Amino acid sequence: MRKGFLSAVVLLASTSAQGQDKGASVGDSDEAALKRLRQEIVQMIGDPVCANLVYCRVLALGVKSCGAPDEYLAYSNTAKTDTDQLQVKASEYAFLQEESLAGKPPASDCRLPKKPAVRCVDQRCRLVP
């Protein structure tokens, strides 16, 4: 797990450096980039099918100004889901969100949300508060 995280950080740094060389496109705000990246993550998750609970996982997505995850998503670790790439995208999203929050006053209450449980309900992974 640690190796995968370090790879994600290296990939992010590489991607950021490449993006700086090319220059940001005009009008491409952090909010638009975050929205686009979140859509990619949701598409990667797709329909989180499961035969039982063994297939279901919880993805922490984003970061609040105090460091807590912004939200959680349920996903399935079946062969259709590239979980390593999903983690990389989630890390990229958190990094971008953290960068966009830098220097701004806290916009959230910074309560640490309890990580939800996940269940296989009607053959779909679902978050349970």
Q: Would residue 35 count as lying in a domain?
A: no
Tell me if 88 is assigned to some domain.
yes
- How much is the pLDDT for 14? 41
For the chain, the domain total comes to 1
At 27 the pLDDT is: 36
| Phi, psi torsion values for 85, nearest 5 degrees | -65, -35
At residue 128, the pLDDT reads 92
Residue 111: inside a domain, yes or no? Answer: yes
Is residue 39 situated within a structural domain? no
- The sign of the dihedral angle between the CA atoms of 38, 39, 45, 47 is positive
Domain span at residue 93 reads: 2-21+46-128
Per-residue pLDDT reduced to its tens digit, 61-83: 998 877 788 899 999 998 788 99
- Are 85 and 37 spatial neighbours (Cβ–Cβ below 8 Å)? no
Q: What is the pLDDT of residues 12-48, one digit of tens each?
A: 444 444 444 333 443 358 889 999 999 999 999 999 9
* DSSP string computed for the chain: -HHHHHHHHHHHHHHHHHHHHH-PPTT--HHHHHHHHHHHHHHHH-S-B-SSGGGEEEEEE---TTSS-SEEEEEE-STTS-HHHHHHHHHHHHHHHHHHHTTSPP-S----PPPPEEEEETTEEEEE-
Query: 93-116, pLDDT tens digit by residue?
Result: 999 998 888 877 766 667 777 889
